[in-house]
Amino acid sequence: MKGLVTGISAVAALAMATSAQAVIVDGSIAGDGYGAARAVQTVETSFGDNQSELNAGYGFISGGKLHLAITGQVEANFNKLEIFIDAAAGGQSVFASAGNDGAGNMNGMVFDTAFTPETHIIVRNGNAGSDKFDLDFANLLTTAVTSQFSIFGASLTGTGTVAAGPATASAIEVGYDNSNVLGVGGGGGAAADQVAAAAVQTGLELVIDLADLGYLGGDIRVSAIVNNGDHGFASNQVLGGLPIGSSHLAGLSTTDFSGIAGDQFFVIPEPASMALLGLGGLAMLRRRA
């Protein structure tokens, strides 16, 4: 009996500790309980050390939200961080843009077979009269787009929100911290130091309502790629990572990820609580038919 009580107490204590561990959306994963990386960079960046590098991807599903973090940074010259999210049945096997921000330059890109996104997010920052940080959220199925410019005011970094818009019923929380000076190096396709990559704590954080992703259950799959200013010449910074030796992907419109070894996406699992309730199991039956 004593052992049972002790066991329950331990579970209760863990639950309390978990619920008390609120995520602070500030561009740092420190203390937020993301847990282990879902993907760690495999190759040093071809676009500039500590300017455009994706060190690791993190995420979890909680409280009706997807919490997503990508450590590293995107150069403040309006290079693009392309984020694709597969959260539901259906979606695109071959990318077709919603028409925003010149993303049509990537039309024709073939995703990994097990990755069919419904959502495309573009993150960009730079100086156009003043510093700014912008985000587009495109629903690839409806081609609706929510855009928010200067999310942090006249700053490249900070904490802010993307207001609800044509593609989103709820606000998106955004945090960005570009202070990383470690992580992967700038040796192009050389093998990345994955211990260093996994040690980076700063970068992009997003909190997205699950309904805006069309999520009904199961896991959520994410792919992230650093591209250039007109979406026409991509780096080798992709999560999941590219094979060692990979330099620039260059034009994504002719890139076929299904023919590149490994998964160029990472998986954020369904929370155990949802699986236990059976909600996810039912939804899984409708996924990826």
Chain positions contacting Ca ion, by CB under 5 A: 49-50, 86, 91, 112, 116, 183, 257, 260, 264
Amino acid identity at 39: A
Least distance to Ca ion, CB of residue 39, Å: 12
In the complex with Ca ion, which residue's Cβ is closer, 49 or 131?
49
Listed residue (22, 43, 47, 42) closest to 32, CA to CA: 22
Distances (CA, A) of 268 to 51, 85, 219, 223: 26, 10, 6, 11
Using DSSP bridges, classify how beta strands 145-148 and 158-162 pair: parallel, antiparallel or unpaired: unpaired
- Give whichever of 137 and 257 is closer to Ca ion, judged by the CB atom: 257
What is the smallest separation between the CB atom of 9 and Ca ion, expressed in angstroms? 41
Closest approach, Cβ 161 to Ca ion, in A, equals: 26
CB atoms within 10 A of CB 99: 12
Q: How far is CA 170 from CA 63, 100, 211, in A?
A: 14, 20, 9
Residue nearest to Ca ion (CB): 91
Which SS3 state, helix, strand or coil, does residue 203 take? strand
Q: Least distance from C-beta 86 to Ca ion, angstroms? A: 4
Among residues 115 and 173, whose Cβ is nearest to Ca ion? 115
CB proximity list for 211: less than 8 A, separation 6 or greater: 64, 169, 170
With contact defined as beta carbons under 8 Å apart, do 251 and 232 qualify? yes
* Half-sphere exposure of residue 190: CA atoms within 13 angstroms, side-chain side: 9
| Residue with token string 């093998």 | 191
Instruction: Give me the count of residues in the chain.
Output: 289
Nearer to Ca ion, 86 or 177 (CB): 86
Nearest distance from residue 21's CB to Ca ion, in Å?
28
Question: Least separation, in Å, of the C-beta of 196 and Ca ion?
Answer: 8
Beta carbon nearer to Ca ion, 116 or 148 = 116
Nearer to Ca ion, 164 or 199 (CB): 199
